[in-house]
Structure 1
Amino acid sequence: MRARWISIVLAAVTAASLTACGSDSANTANTAPTAGSTSGSGVSGPITVFAAASLTESFTQIGKDFEAANPGTTVTFSFAGSSALATQINQGAPADVFASAAPANMKTVTDAGNADGTPQNFAKNQLVIAVPKGNPKNITSLSGLAQPGVKVALCAPQVPCGAAAQKALQAANVQVTPVTQEQDVKAALSKVTLGEVDAALVYRTDAKAAANDVDAVEFPESASAVNEYPIVVLKNAPNQAGAQAFVNYVLSPAAEQVLTNAGFQKP
């Protein structure tokens, strides 16, 4: 009889142990992070993004949205001409992500071995002629920039907006002698808003952002000088996980909508 009771007790203990194990497994399965959730994603800390000046407004918004979707991250931007940013990266400037306004400037970074992976295009942009509100010089085409007495600002040739401007002017067979050549598109646009020039060739997105101060004159030759915008994680990124997460976000529908609202086109 005593042996029979011992057997019953052992059976009960074994059953209880199995039940407990099953319960623990179920609880673990129910509390595991779901795919795409921030919890357990490993995304945190500061992320430094070098981005073309023409991305200032849209990337500032995208950065805020990214931080809201990924608590614990802080995105810091350095906006400038893509050529200057590429030079800084190749000279060892600490950054996690590079977003260029043209493939040529991105290529200088990839050729130097400073990119981690293949750059991906996330937007494209076209030029317009930015003029003061009301278009006092009545500039309606690229040929209007060559009129006597018209002061024009262009981006420097090594800057994406400058290279695009040269392509467009060549397509229109128009020669323009600018009074100034700026190192980024925002600087060229500021010459118009400050009243220092009568017109500037800038991106459509920049003219839209400054719509209270300038009018945008479209011209057909801009179609021959469309700039693609590539983005990539940098090889020596201090925050590799954060950098990749930010690049993924820029390629997401949410960021695409921000870019579209700013006037960018889909790549």
Structure 2
Amino acid sequence: MTRSERRTRRTRRTFQVAGAGAAALLALSACSSSDSGSGSSGTSDSSAKSKKLSGTVTVFAAASLKESFNALGKQFEKAHPGTKVVFSFGGSDTLAASITGGAPADVFAAASPKTMAIVTDKKDAAATPVTFVRNQLEIATLPGNPDKVASLKDLTKSGLKVVLCDKTVPCGAAAQKALDASGLKLTPVSYEQDVKSALTKVRLKEADAAVVYKTDVKAAGDEVAGVEFPESAKAINDYPIALLKDAPNAEAAKAFIELVKSAGGQKVLTAAGFLKP
């Protein structure tokens, strides 16, 4: 083979190697482009799935939840800009009647399963209610406990002005249960429509004592004194919460319920004196 032929053959081999390398580079480039496109599509799908919450969430809640739920409402609004949580607090029976009567609301948090049943029996709940906290009774007296109330029996003393919640609301039903367990009869100076109203009578010195929840005594601070009594252990109330069937803002309402049930929500509630479910 001549020198010229050898040179020609080497030149052809060089072109073949270069061509193969170029082909490999093109293939790698195509793969990279395909992978990049796939990743981009995944990100897009993920973004599409995350739905931003907005609008008003209307929550009907037992009066004893006022301080805790107001705090959780602020947390929710901060975590979800563009949302607003509006509360209606009151006696659970009154709130339940409003819901079954057609009042627009997203969430109902009751102070007893019995009052929640008013709503579920009418098929006005969109899901099965879940117990999220429990609450126990305590006696609220004037600051310093001037009448030396030390037990449930002491509330039957002659001349002592005692206030109870109405028997139709959870705190009143629980108080009656505790009295029955003790074999005591008590005639209050008034029956109040919710626990906050009963406590207010003591705070305004219009009554000497009231049977309310531990959480309400704690929320009142030094405006009242609290007296625990063993019979309260026989009348602990479970608090259920539920999404309502015709909730105007169901997605945001579900998120609020999840906050209430979350570790952070439970921390706020137990700090207020509620018991874990």
TM-score (norm 2): 0.87
Say if 2:117 is the partner of 1:107: yes
Alignment partners' CA distance in 2, 1:152 and 1:33 = 59
Does 2:209 match 1:209? no
Q: Counterpart in 1 of 2:40?
A: 27
Are 1:52 and 2:65 counterparts?
A: no
- In angstroms, what is the RMSD of aligned CA positions? 2.5
Structure 2 residue runs without a partner (length 5+): 1-21
Name the counterpart of 1:180: 190
What is the correspondence of 1:77-226 to structure 2 with a 5 Å cutoff? 77-226=87-236
1:29-86 deviation digits (Å, cap 9, x = unpaired)? 456658xxxx823422110000000000000011111122222221110000000000
Whole-Å Cα distance in 1 between the matches of residues 41 and 79 of structure 2? 25
Amino acid at match of 1:101: A
What one-letter code is carried by the residue in structure 2 that aligns with 1:129? I
2-side partners of 1:220 and 1:15: how far apart?
77
Aligned mates of 1:247, 1:225 — CA distance in 2: 25
1:168-217 per-residue CA deviation (whole Å, 9 max, x = no partner) reads 11111111111111000000000000000000000000000002200100
**Which structure has the larger Rg over C-alpha atoms?**
2
What CA distance in whole angstroms lies between the structure 1 residues aligned with 2:139 and 2:46?
50
Answer whether contact 1:42 1:241 (CA < 8 A) is retained.
no
How far apart in 1 are the matches of 2:32 and 2:220? 67
Aligned partners of 1:126 and 1:223 also within 8 Å: yes
Secondary structure at the aligned position of 1:192 is classed as helix
Which letter does structure 1 place at the counterpart of 2:199? Answer: L
AA at the equivalent of 2:89: F
Matched position secondary structure for 1:116: coil
Identity value in percent? 53
Identify the residue that residue 3 of structure 1 maps to in structure 2. Answer: none
- Secondary structure, in 3 states, of the residue corresponding to 2:56? strand
Q: Which AA in structure 1 matches 2:62?
A: A
User: Which sections of structure 1, spanning at least 5 residues, go unmatched?
Assistant: 1-8
Distance 2:178 2:45 in 1: 55
Provide the aligned length of Structure 1 versus Structure 2.
Answer: 261
Equivalents in 1 of 2:39, 2:252: separation in Å? 32
Matched to 2:241, the amino acid is I
Preserved contact between residue 81 and residue 183 of structure 1 (Cα < 8 Å): yes
3-state SS of 1:118 partner = coil
Q: What corresponds to 2:3 in structure 1?
A: none
